[in-house]
Amino acid sequence: MTDFSIIGKRIAMVDAAGKTTGAGKYTDDLCVPGMLVGRILHSPYPHAQIKSIDTSRAEKLEGVVAVAIGKDAPNTYGILPVGHDEHALALDKVRYVGDNVACVAAVDEATADRALELIEVEYEVLPAYFDPEESMRAETDLIHDNKPHNLEKDYHHVFGDPEKGFADADCVAEARFIAGEVTHAAMEPHSTLASFEIDSQTGKPGRLIVWSSTQVPYYLQHKLSLVLEMPMAQIRVIKPLVGGGFGGKSEVIPLEIIAAIAARKARAPVKITYTREEVFWAHRGRPRTLIDLKTGVRKDGSITAVKARVVQDGGAYCSYGVVTILYSGALLGALYDIPNIQYDGYRVLTNKPACGAMRGHGTVNVRFAFESQLDELAARINLDPAEIRRRNLLQPPCVTVNGLRVQSYGLPECIEKTVERSGWKDRKGKLGKGRGLGIACSHYVSGAANSIIRSDMPHSTVNIKIDRDGGVVVYTGASEIGQGSDTMTAQVAAETLGCSLGRIRIVAADTDLTPIDIGSYSSRVTFMAGNATLRAAAEVKKQIASAAARKMGCGADELVFRDDAVFRKSLAGESPATTQDGRVAQQLASVSGHVDGQILRGSLQQKRKDEGPKDSMSFEEAVVAAIDFHGTLTGTGSYTPPAEARGGRHKGGGVGPSPAYSYSAQVAEVSVDEETGEVTVHKVWAAHDCGRALNPVSVEGQIIGSVWMGMGQALT
Amino acid sequence: MKKQLIELRVNGRRHELALEPSTLLLDALRLDLQLTGSKRGCEDSSCGSCTVQVDGIPMLSCTILAASCEGQEITTIEGVSEHGSLAAIQKAYGDWGGAQCGFCTPGFIMTVKHLLAVNPEPTDEEIRSALSGNLCRCTGYNQMYQAIKAAIVAEQKGVESLSSPVR
């Protein structure tokens, strides 16, 4: 079925009005009775032992309710099970300027800030490491005692026979590429509000409720449970509107745990919102990366081998680092057909804010290096840069040499479109001195095939409830962070059920109300939560169809759901519903209008008795029939990546596999002022193989936004 | 610091607030009046998320004192919708994808409202220039330029009006 009525249409996001009127609430906009303001004391040193902390003067300040320190919650945590190396508040050591030492909960921000100045911390400053290559040589003063040479993790992968590949090459290029560190800089600084409910039975603090600017509410619930030693069922995480993520909110950020610790100690709700400076300290951005890259090609342009040694400057904690360094290698090997690959990846600890996941997690810097080197090789064998890319295409369906299953592959079309639209053939090399066209390609997962916490649990689950009023409530754990998650969910549900968008209500990302979804990261939501929504809606639709078919005296498979009506397929062609802007739907809806459920039911039954079996029913009528028949009308659907998409068996082979990959090609027209070195980007042509664009407004928004963010990295 | 009684006119309504003289307009709006549409993004006049209009002029509420706005008419994003419906520019921002995460959107709209008030038919260059004090990390701005043009057309046509509640 490609004749969609809602999918593929340009529609405003379902939450747009809240955003354009200021009515929508982000975490920092929330307020609960008795709420205190939390402010964090940060380390002024990059590497130091904490000899002592004296909070007594701060505690005595009028308006200060509590001062929390590391001992108040000494358990370690980290986003990855293999990287539990963080304390929400430092226990005995600080590892970067900005590391978290104490938190004051006070009646207002000014009081909290004054109290921070009264906390006395005695440090013993240690030698610090700022350069990853130097850090790797360290024997003493290690950043974490259990990480010799400050090496968080290293991986050494060999696929095929790289040495033979280089021997077969006609031309080999070798160079070092360095990509600087980048931070997400989402417009909304991170914010968390934590509040304990009093348990009615015990009369003591019971459940914890946390509102937070997060991309991963369920991971947050899990980490809060570890640190606070509370069962997950006693913790409710709610994600309000989130003002941008880009990966920077895709793991548990210190303030999220600190707010809960402070609330527990203060016995009052505590809200912490980072300043912009604190956002940079919290960071979790794209690491500075050193890439020693060697690539061999034959005269015809075909790649024979690639060897990459990648060193990532990971900062002071593991964060997503183990995954980042694996992505760098995994997706190096799966854009083009590369028969032989050697990858040596080193994730190194330094005394700087921790790096984590950022848009295009782990892949961007290595891709920059590879695409640059491919251009150099093309020039050396006298081949057009677009042509050399065409000569190394995969032949899907296939499994790459490093075990990634590729089933659909829009790269050739992406190259073709950008080359065509940019006038590449006529203009390349003819724009005068200092101005030119360049091309590069890329790809990324549509959701990691393996969750951070390995299990066979579905990655997304969606529940749908429909009541007699004909309202459709979709409960999804997926996190709207501005990318259009809620809108996509509403579109898929409405399209599947053949009802109007106005009937759909989205309840999202609230661990008490919504079924688990692993979060908004790895470009997974539309694919995985979308499929879960589709399945949940299809299940409900089946129930409605069986009841409607009984009423209409036909088979359920003869029914079409569209434009708020259910009608027989045989009539679809001539149905006014499809030919006359849904006139039938409106007409039928008016039968039910403005009356409450009971009267509605009676009147509809009367009408049915009068008329006998009919050829069509309004959506509401069909829903009422289904509830009468089945008793309730609910459905659930989930998505689990298939076993065959979960990747190779080698160590680290769990990172990189995806049930589907998206592909892209991009041409940029750029000039450089040869006197000053100033670069101007005149135009960018970008083509993405995203499958079907469920909402073109959102898809274009993602592409345009990512081009700008990429330019930010490239030009600074 | 001792609080003083300050009178602020916001979105056409008069408020008497007891504020410390050092209170920023943004904090008075967000904390005292619960008008949380104006956002705190940087606190140093870099991002424009806190933009409001003071006597019709876009101002960064994170860097002006509430007390200095006494006697002036303050308009925040909450004062932009018309009779409970979206103004043309608000509707257009939604339709054209001018807002993604939406955190910067109120600030942009306050800036754009001023631009269109003083220059109803701005050129592309004038639009870009007017918006240069506001940052967005999601959209890449292009969609906002389209939204602004669409809003101008909508206003001119009075289009069954996107904004008017009266038909």
For residue range A15-36, what is the model confidence (pLDDT) as tens digits? 999 999 999 999 999 999 999 9
Contact A20 B94 (CB under 8 A): yes
Task: Say whether pLDDT at B157 is over 90.
Answer: no
CA A637 – CA A489 distance, rounded (Å): 12
Q: Which two tokens stand for residue B69?
A: 């706005």
Our measurement of the distance from residue A71's CA atom to the centroid of its chain's CA atoms, rounded to an integer in Å, reads 33
Cα separations in angstroms, A202 against A265, A425, A571, B72, B100: 18, 76, 63, 53, 44
A251 burial (CB, 10 Å; 0-12 / 13-18 / 19+) is: buried
As beta bridge partners, residue A439 has A667
CA A320 to chain B, closest CA, distance in angstroms equals 22
Q: Quote the pLDDT of residue B127.
A: 98
pLDDT of A570? 80
Give the alpha-carbon dihedral of A473, A474, A475, A479, to 10 degrees. -130
d(CA A109, CA A93) in angstroms, rounded, equals 27
What share of chain B has pLDDT > 90, as a percent? 90
Which of A:182-241 have CB within 8 Å of B? 184-189, 241
What whole-number percentage of chain A has pLDDT above 90?
91
The CA distance from A35 to A328, in Å, is 43
**Helix A696-715 / helix A364-380 crossing angle, nearest 10 deg:** 70
Query: Of the given ranges (A526-540, A595-609, A678-692, B112-126), which has the lowest mean pLDDT?
Result: A595-609
pLDDT band with cut points at 50, 70 and 90 for residue A608: low
pLDDT of A371-410, one tens digit each? 999 999 999 999 999 999 999 999 999 999 999 999 999 9
pLDDT for the residue A371: 98
Inter-chain CB proximity B40 and A13 less than 8 Å: no
Residues of B in contact with A481 (CB under 8 A): 101
**Closest CA–CA distance from residue B145 to any residue of chain A (Å):** 13
Give me the mean pLDDT over the A255-259 stretch. 98
B77 touches chain A (CB under 8 A): yes
For residues A521 and A293, what is the distance between their CA atoms, to the nearest angstrom?
A: 28
Q: What is the pTM of this model?
A: 0.94
Among all residues of chain A, which has the CA nearest to that of B20? A110
Q: Do the beta carbons of residue A634 and residue A465 sit within 8 Å?
A: yes
- DSSP class of A407: -
What is residue A599's predicted lDDT score, i.e. its pLDDT? 45
Name the residue among A12, A13, A28 with its Cβ closest to that of B40: A28
Question: Residues of A103-120 as b/e, b for ≥16 C-beta within 10 angstroms?
Answer: bbbbbeebbbebbbebbe
Q: How many CA atoms lie within 13 A of B53 on its CB side?
A: 22
Q: What percent of chain B has pLDDT over 70?
A: 95
B48, closest residue in chain A (CA to CA): A187
| pLDDT (0 to 100) of residue B167 | 33
- Residue A308: what pLDDT? 98
| pLDDT bucket at A605, cuts 50 / 70 / 90 | low
Q: What is the pLDDT of residues A170-191, one digit of tens each?
A: 999 999 999 999 999 999 999 9
Across A650-655, average pLDDT:
93
Q: Is A360 left (phi over 0), alpha (psi -120 to 50) or beta?
A: left
pLDDT tens digits for B7-30? Answer: 999 999 999 999 999 999 999 999
Instruction: State residue A258's pLDDT score.
Output: 98
For A312, the 3-state DSSP assignment is: strand
Q: How confident is the model at residue A573 (pLDDT cuts 50, 70, 90)?
A: low
pLDDT at A582 over 50: no
What does the mean pLDDT of chain A come to? 94
A697 and B141 within 8 Å at the Cβ level: the answer is no
Residue A6's SS3 state is coil
Chain A residues 657-676 within an 8 A CB cutoff of chain B: none
Partners of residue B40 in chain A, C-beta under 8 Å? 28, 189, 273
Say yes or no to pLDDT of A520 above 90: yes
Q: Which range has the worst mean pLDDT, A45-49, A150-154, B82-86?
A: B82-86
pLDDT 10s digits, A209-245:
999 999 999 999 999 999 999 999 999 999 999 999 9
**pLDDT tens track for B56-109:** 999 999 999 999 999 999 999 999 998 899 999 999 999 999 999 999 999 999
Q: Assign B156 a pLDDT band (cuts: 50, 70, 90).
A: confident
What pLDDT does residue A609 have?
54
> Does B1 score more than 90 pLDDT?
no
**Cβ–Cβ gap A698/B97 under 8 Å:** yes
Query: What string of DSSP letters covers A699-713?
Result: HHHHHHHHHHHHHHH
pLDDT, one tens digit per residue, over A2-16 is 789 999 999 999 999
Q: B114 touching A, CB under 8 A? A: no
Determine the pLDDT at residue A606: 53
Sequence-distant (≥ 6) Cβ neighbours of residue A60 within 8 angstroms: none
pLDDT at A584 over 60: no
What torsion, rounded to 10 degrees, do the Cα atoms B148, B153, B157, B160 define?
-60
